[in-house]
Chains A and B, each alone.
Chain A
Amino acid sequence: MSAIANRPPGCEPAIEFRNVSYQLNGGQELLNDVSFTVARGETLVLLGRSGAGKTTALKLINRLLEPTEGEVLVDGRSTMAWDPITLRRHIGYVIQEIGLFPHFTVEKNISLVPRLEHWAEDRTRARAKELLEMVGLDAAKFASRYPHELSGGQRQRVGVARALAADPSILLMDEPFGALDPLTRGEVQREFQALERRLKKTVVIVTHHVSESLTLGTRIGLMEAGKLAGIYSPKEFLESTEPVTAAYVAHLRMHEGVEGGE
């Protein structure tokens, strides 16, 4: 505790997990004593197989779930001390199914959080336009369309734009590119990478794609059965001789860059 208190204000990590466990009501443990920090501006990828607890960890950050034990700190404050609505509006959130509102136009989808925050009408409109251009969509063409009129890749871009709308300092992404075909995924990944370099947000991405985690992550947190097996830089990850990482690297070598064949 004292080490934390001694940090100068504003320099605390963006996100910190302290001995966090999460159990379902039935007692099944989805997350078991997990601790890590995410520094400001870095992109942490949580990598692991299905059921490893990646999504659970992500949802603990914006308090869609609450820890059974331990605490999650966002900007130095326990999520339980935050008002959940304020916390969530302060954090962008993108999920695999995207969850665009089918009855809203693209523009209305993107400007949801600004409208909830009562931004002025012209500022909201300008922001929506700016965001569309930022994710590479022509605002004049797409603003008034409905989600069902978009392709998968376009929907994904709108999802990212929506998450960035109120300029949150933290962005959470759950399998954000998972539903896209390999070519589109590569494209959207590269765009996102460029965007991320420009915006310098703190990003946490959940994925089961090894190559995606190596491309996008500044660090990779490997999760296994509710525990954090280790945190590596992409280079460390590739060079690691631990059996857990070795299995992933072997898989990657086998598929030689055309990862995502499953």
Chain B
Amino acid sequence: MTTSASTIATDESPKVRLWRLAGRVRRARLPWVPITILASILICAAFAELIAPHDPRDIDILKKNIAPGETANHLLGTDILGRDILSRLIFGARTTVIISFVSLAAGAFVGTTLGVISGYKGGWIDALIMRGVDAALGFPTILVAMLIVVFLGAGTINIILAVTLTFWARFARMVRGDVLVIKTLDFVTLARITGVSTPVIMWRHIFPNVINTLTVVSSLLVGQIILLEASLGFLGLGLAPGDPAWGIMVAEGRSVILDVWWLSLFPGLAITIVVLAFNFFGDWLRDTLDPQLQSAQ
């Protein structure tokens, strides 16, 4: 797997880098559909209270199981407890965004730190960390998540923990690969010769050149993170059962699928669309920023 680290890694200041990056992004043709979708999701997540027509937890047994399109009041229908599906979808976006992004950030943080240390220091530290990475990568993610939920209970923090534990390794491996290339470059050698301490080298020289790969890998992994989080929700390992999370909604709809088919259909569709958008966006990002990077495994 090649990286383009050696072709673009530089010793420039952050301002210069940002400027060059902005130039590249500006010149590239933006993928408008994915961006629109992603923007909508983010807006829903941030302003759910303003956008959603109803309170997602508003139970009204009299209004249960209204089909989509029957009333203007409930565009996508209601569920078995009379809650408005559209509103639950919108609030669900918030759950998805929060859990996914936090897990992503945490996993990226842990993974990058370990990857940089491992790649730069080499030796037994590298070997040890890589053993850990191999073991973690080889683990079915749901297994880990289940174990955590068994012992630590359900809840948002634990889901985030579970997802982080399963994804950090992918970051670590990618970043380490990049670091192995970067540390052979002249400006790093120069820093070493002039006596700059290791942590400073890692922070000032190595890390900025890893951001490219990190960004691309993140965008490619978000989709998988969302799917994992939805699966955990579906399996009941997620948050409390009343919560408007997409995975939970699909689970709720399962037992009544014959009559209330919309209950499972829409949240699943939402998940699919969002993951598609992230995948396309990630591909575009990779093609623009780092065409030599092979797709993340």
- Answer yes or no: do A and B interact: no
Name B residues whose Cβ lies closer than 8 Å to a Cβ of A. none
A interface residue numbers (CB < 8 A to B): none
